[in-house]
Amino acid sequence: MPESFVITMDGPAASGKSSIARVLARRLGALYVNTGNMYRAVTLAALEAGLDPADKPALRAWLPSLPLRYPIHEGQVQVELGGRVLSSEELNSDAVNGAVSLVASEPAVREQLVTAQRGMTALGHLVMEGRDIGSVVFPQSPHKFYIDASAEVRAQRRRAQGQDDQVGRRDQLDSTRKTSPLVVPEGASVIDNNHLTLEQAVQAVAQLLRAQGLSVPEGDNP
């Protein structure tokens, strides 16, 4: 089997990177990894444990006892907390949306999750999306993308999903934190996703991947 590849997909909240990454992974037969869900799982667990997400020493002391596992289901890496697979509703609750940037700014949290993310290469080809995947987790990958969209388009996307997610506030926190802030990774191709349909965005990425030597099958339904 050829060596496994990692396609990295970074960008601000609600830029459309999850949908693009999911479709691409399916077409490539690669595993889809949503690393935002890993930071969300730690946040949910901290809130359930009654921790104040701003209390960093308490967060650091509690972290090693966190029972996180990453089982694969239908081509996607899931997040399991103490034997319970976390649902999208739990991971995207308003409480988690409000606290996740704070939890993700703690270096000890990032260290633990980045180690797990790097270990996932043993599972096969990956399409991994997040904020620091091309800059920190897999900077050596030749297949790096940054999916961008304006603050208005992104806020509109979240509202259409029925979520009250302060994307602007989260982006500000995610872009200005000291450890692994959101940046356009060196060597990444930037996709302007303001006016593209999902299929157009997938095609734009697929075309660049083909130019990089990867074989990407056409798909008839996203």
Does 157 bind ligand DC (CB under 6 A)? Our answer is no
State which residue, 101 or 193, has the beta carbon closest to ligand DC. Answer: 101
174 binds ligand DC (CB under 6 A): yes
Total number of residues that touch ligand DC (CB under 6 A): 14
Compute the distance between CA of residue 66 and CA of residue 148 in angstroms, rounded to an integer: 33
Report in angstroms how near the CB of residue 36 gets to ligand DC at its nearest.
2
Does position 193 bind ligand DC by CB under 6 A?
A: no
Cα–Cα distance, 11 to 3 (Å, whole number): 26
**How far does Cα 115 stand from its chain's mean position?**
15
Kindly tell me which of 125 and 177 has the beta carbon lying closer to ligand DC.
177
Query: 4: number of CA atoms within 13 Å, CB side?
Result: 17
Q: Residues 88 to 147: which contact ligand DC by CB under 6 A?
A: 100-101, 104, 130-133
What contacts 61, CB < 8 A, 6 or more positions away? none
Q: Is 39 in the site for ligand DC (CB under 6 A)?
A: yes
Residue 161 CB, shortest distance to ligand DC, in Å, is 12
In terms of CB distance, is 132 or 148 closer to ligand DC? Answer: 132
Least spacing, CB of residue 146 vs ligand DC, in Å: 13
Pairing type for strands 126-130 and 143-148 reads unpaired
Give a three-class secondary structure readout of 186-197. CCCEEEECCCCC
Are the CB atoms for 40 and 177 separated by under 8 Å?
A: no
Q: Which is nearer to ligand DC, 13 or 28 (CB)?
A: 13
**What does the CA dihedral 15, 20, 25, 27 come to, rounded to 10 degrees?**
180
Q: Give me the phi and psi of 13, to 5 degrees please.
A: -60, 135
> In the set 22, 26, 40, 125, which binds ligand DC (CB under 6 A)?
40
Q: How far apart are CA 42 and CA 111, in angstroms?
A: 13
Q: Is 53 in the site for ligand DC (CB under 6 A)?
A: no
Nearer to ligand DC, 77 or 100 (CB): 100
Instruction: Output 39 or 138, the one with its CB closest to ligand DC.
Output: 39
Interface with ligand DC (CB under 6 A): 13, 35-36, 39-40, 100-101, 104, 130-133, 170, 174
